[in-house]
Amino acid sequence: FPPVNPMWNYLLGVIFFVLGLLSFCGNSLVMYLFMTKKSLRSPANMIIVNLAFADFMMLMTQYPLLIYNCFAGGVWSFGAIGCDFYSFAGGVTGVTALLSLVAIGYDRYLVIVKAFDGKHMTSSKAFLIIIFCWAYAMLFCSLPFFGWGSFIPEGIMVSCSFDYLSESWKTRSHGLIMFLSYYCCPMIFIIFFYFQIVNAIRNHEKALRAQAKKMNVENLRSNADMNKQSQEVRVAKVAVANVGLWLITWTPYAYIVMMAMFSDKTFVTPLVSCLPGLILKTASCYNPMMFAISHPKFRIALQEALPWFCIHEPTEDETKSTKTESDCK
């Protein structure tokens, strides 16, 4: 393939410089709030902070090398060892972030679907889940170091990834394992959790409306119950939206990998093979905004820490005050 227009290198360099600043601010803010606000140190939030930490580590290990290569002429400038490090670190942080999304879905599943079964997230369970996320990612991402697959410069040569273009059995079997472990398995769990969540919310609302109709009342919930339920549903909706973004960012890369390994490679140009992988790295920017900063408790902590940030999230005292005024009326 002929070299790409140098404009693409400079354009990608500028884009990822801006995205890097956003990712640094967003993920640093999430970790800062968790460390300084005791109200946020819940088991569920441990997983959200793990997501922010994984995204922050992706930023620190991927963006500087990528941006440097973009402005250095569009070539990989850090040799074979640098390529191995870049690919391994990017894989570990990316897969850990992905599994953290699955774990957040599992937590929402326990809160909303299994609320009456006595199952809930504990600190020890959250810690074990976090350890599993990192161990799982390191296990599969380290396979090329043991001779199964390899890491090579990718696309327009500003980044590296595992080899999915060679036609050897080792390369194809390794690529298939990556496809199953990085994409298919997490997607199955995510779809299961959020299907159950949406179904439980729908059935619960339907049962409440039916019971209220029998009792000739408008609503069976108290204000406190409504506020708690609305927060849980709100968090679940945010999680579902983030999963949709996850599918949008991961599916093109999975598609390119499978097509390059088992179909016609002629359409897999350097730019086509590069862009899906770079899109994956943008997840480190929107994850903190979608999951943490839009979370009700994180928003309350954020408006306390940064009152000039133009955020107003009703606190528990305000909610109780509203309920009291409503009762008086």
Work out the angle at residue 224's Cα, subtended by the Cα atoms of residues 221 and 229, and round it to the nearest 5 degrees: 70
At 220-267, the pLDDT tens digits run 555 545 555 555 666 667 667 767 877 888 888 888 888 888 887 777
In a domain, 246, yes or no: yes
Of 70-84, 89-103, 106-120, the least confident: 106-120
When the pLDDT of each residue in the chain is averaged and rounded to a whole number, the result is 82
pLDDT of residue 75: 85
Cβ(157)–Cβ(75) below 8 Å: yes
* 52 is a domain residue: yes
Residue 311 belongs to some domain of the structure: no
pLDDT digits 0-9 by tens, 65-93:
999 999 988 789 999 999 999 999 999 99
Instruction: Give me the pLDDT at residue 323, please.
Output: 44
How far is 18 from 70, CA to CA, in rounded Å?
14
In a domain, 323, yes or no: no
Query: What SS3 class is residue 281?
Result: helix
Residues 6+ apart with CB under 8 A from 256: 268, 272, 273, 276
pTM recorded for the entire structure: 0.84
Residue at 207 is within a domain: no
Total domain count, the chain? 1
Pick from 5-9, 103-107, 229-233: least confident: 229-233
Residue 326 is assigned to a structural domain of this protein: no
Q: Return the residue matching tokens 């528990």.
A: 316
Give residue 292's domain range: 6-197+240-298
The structure tokens 């549903």 sit at: 233
Asked if residue 137 belongs to a domain, the reply is yes
232 in a domain, yes or no? no
Q: Which ranges of the chain would DSSP assign to H, the alpha helix?
A: 6-36, 43-71, 79-112, 123-141, 169-178, 185-214, 223-262, 270-281, 283-287, 296-305, 316-328
Query: What whole-number distance in Å separates Cα of residue 88 and Cα of residue 84?
Result: 6
| CATH assignment of the domain containing 283 | 1.20.1070.10
The two structure tokens encoding residue 134: 């990192």
